[in-house]
Every structure is written in structure tokens, then in C-alpha cells.
Amino acid sequence: MKPTQELHDAGQSLWLDNITRDLLTSGKLRSYIEQLAVTGLTSNPTIFDQAIERSSAYDPAIAKGAAEGASAEEIFFQLAIDDLRAAADLFEPVHRGSDGVDGWVSLEVSPLLADDAAATVAAAVALHQRAARANLFIKIPGTPAGLQAIGECIFAGVPVNVTLLFSSAQYTAAAGAYMTGLERRLAEGLSLDVASVASLFVSRWDKALATQGPEALRDRVGIAAGTQAYRSYHELLASDRWRRLENAGARPQRLLFASTSTKNPAAPDTLYISGLAAPMTINTMPEETLLAFADHGQVRGTLDPTGGDADLVMSQLAAAGIDPGELALRLQREGAAAFDASWHNLVACIGDRAGQLVAGH
């Protein structure tokens, strides 16, 4: 049995953190579904930026959009929606077979809207309607403005992937926004069948600490942050607030581990896959990490829902003069800034490519 199937059988969904047109047209994504137990897919501005910049597969569509007078941003969303519709269709049997629990793909709103809740909600509603796929999440960052938008989107019936979460506290706030949206729907007599996942970014903790903090904590803090969030996830599912919603027909907002490629060349390349195996959760992994785990990964047990030694790790970090809460906030701000930069580069790349293609004709 492949390690990926073993992890799937342990109760964790394996999602691919990548999408390119070549991945779709070559049949590679289908092979990952059939052979490596992949049951979903995520994307972000950085992934699309790299996909479009490194491939000519998008050129015909870019040229067509430019000839029709579309802006670079409009062209991007059409490219992204086309790709994600195709991916959603590949995952539709998984989505149907799991009764809507699995088989999802994700499309992010413009990160430039991160501080404007109303604009984020309007964009999320429009993108979800335009994509016209039941198994498509709209990604919204779990920033303060994003939390307001998340609750509004859930109330509007838009499935949401909450992104850029780094700590148990940020995860708990995102879960609260999800429940607020559901509670509003319950009060209005609306269906509570609106899905969501909460994406906790892991490896950026250890990357940030690579040159500071105790040597004994190298490559341990990201997994500790994930373990703390997993404990909070279990505590939330046992809470009276959640049980009232569950009794009325709601489904849990699943915890998703993101940013799971190993950044330290000296550490195992499957560090955050083996270390974050946990039932009822998702691990979305880059293609290289997925293939590495399929080749030589090991499932050595699952996360301790009571937190294990995570609190000890974080207290040792604090004792070294690094406040985990402050670092989580910094990582969230830096993550948002990185997505902004990728977005600007992506739009510029499409604009340049469109100009070249039009001139070439």
C-alpha cells in the first residue's frame, strides 16, 4: 500500500497545493486522484503566477482575452476559473461519493481586497456564481477584515476556505466567524449545508525561526502550532455552541494544514506530512512533497488531540524571547504582503504576455 493511501485510510484528506493547465491536460492530476489518493486541490496567487509565467499553455486564452479588450485581471480570473472548473469536474465523483465532505478546489479573491470586507464579500459571491461549481471554495484570508467577510459569505451561502491562519487563536477566530454565519442562517430558517475549511500555515513558522530561537526547537514549532490548532479544533467540536449548530444540520469546518513543504534542506522532505497526520483533517501539499511522501513517506501515528508537547515547545520559544502570538501576527501580515506581491506580478505578467501576443499577430 502506498504511503499516501495509508494516510488517507488513517482519516486525513490529501489535497494537492498546485494547479497548472498542463497538469490538467496531461492527465497528471487524474493520475494523482487514481493512484495517490488525492481528493482535492488548492490554489493561490503565487501558484497561478508561477503557472502562467512558466508555461505557454495559457497563451491562446490570454490572446483571446486581450483581443476582446479584457483587462489583465479579467483575463486572469477567466484563466483561473477555466482551470478550476476542469479540476472541480475531476473531483466531482469524490465530492459526490463523500456526500460533499471532500473533493473540493479553491479559488482566491484578489488579495488587494483583504482590508475591505464589503468588497471581499461582493467579489466572493460573484466568483462563486461565475464558477458555477458546487465543489469550489472561495479563499478569504483570516485577517480582521477577512473574518467579517467570512461570516457574511457563509450567511450568503458561499463555501469558504479561510486562508493565512498561523495559530490556534487565529484558527479559533476563523471558526467563530464560520459559526456566526451559520447562526444567522439558522435564525433565518436557511439551510446550514454551507461548507468551509480553515487553513493553518505551518512551515513558515520554522522558516522564520531558522536563524533565531533555540537550536533545540529547529523544525519543531510549525508542528507544535498545528498540534495546538488541532486541539482547539477538537475542543470546538465538543462545545455547546457547535453542537447546537450540528444538531440543526451543520457540518464541521474542517482543519486544513497548508504550507507543508519542508524549507530546511537538512530536514526530512516529508516532515510536515508525517508530523501532522490527523483524522478528520486535510493536508494540502505541493506536488514535490506529495510525490516524496508517495515514494518514501511514513505514517507513524496521528496527532494527539490533547496537544501533546505543543505547549511546552511554545513556552520554550517564549522563554527564548520570541512571543508566539506576536510571531503569528507577523507571519499573517507577511503572508498577506507576499500574496499582494504575487498578485501584482501575476497581473503584470499577463499584461506583458498579452501585449506580446497581440503584437506578434
- What is the SS3 assignment for 98? coil
How, if at all, do strands 13-17 and 105-108 pair? unpaired
Q: Is 263 an annotated catalytic residue?
A: no
Distance CA(207)–CA(115), nearest Å, equals: 26
Distance CA(182)–CA(253), nearest Å, equals: 11
Distances (CA, A) of 200 to 138, 154, 228, 344: 16, 19, 11, 24
Contact predicate 39/94, CB 8 Å: yes
Q: What is the pLDDT of residue 361?
A: 59
Query: Apex CA 219: angle with CA 294 and CA 200, to 5°?
Result: 70
Q: What is the pLDDT of residue 253?
A: 98
Closest CA to 286 of 14, 2, 3: 14
Distance CA(266)–CA(343), nearest Å, equals: 31
Distance CA(163)–CA(161), nearest Å, equals: 6
- Give the count of alpha carbons within 13 A of 17, CB side only: 20
Measured torsion, CA atoms of residues 80, 43, 349, 356, in degrees rounded to the nearest 10: -40
* Ramachandran region, residue 255 (left: φ > 0; alpha: ψ -120 to 50; beta: rest): beta
Q: What is the pLDDT of residue 187?
A: 98
For residue 303, report the phi and psi dihedrals to the nearest 5 degrees: -60, 150
Reported as type and span, the H/E element at residue 14 is strand 13-17
Q: What is the pLDDT along the chain (361 residues), one digit of tens a residue?
A: 899 999 999 999 999 999 999 999 999 999 999 999 999 999 988 888 888 888 889 999 999 999 999 999 999 999 999 999 999 999 999 999 999 999 999 999 999 998 899 999 999 999 999 999 999 999 999 998 899 999 999 999 999 999 999 999 999 999 999 999 999 999 999 999 999 999 999 999 999 999 888 999 999 999 999 999 999 999 999 999 999 999 999 999 999 999 999 999 999 999 999 999 999 999 999 999 999 999 999 999 999 999 999 999 999 999 999 999 999 999 999 999 999 999 999 999 999 998 888 877 5
The domains of the chain, with CATH numbers, are: 3-360 (3.20.20.70)
Determine which one of 64, 139, 207, 263 is catalytic: 139
DSSP-H helix ranges across the chain: 3-9, 21-25, 28-35, 45-53, 59-67, 72-97, 117-131, 144-155, 168-187, 203-208, 221-237, 240-247, 271-274, 287-296, 310-319, 324-360
In sequence order, which residues have a C-beta less than 8 Å from that of residue 139 and are 6 or more positions away? 42, 43, 44, 106, 107, 108, 109, 160, 161, 162, 163, 199
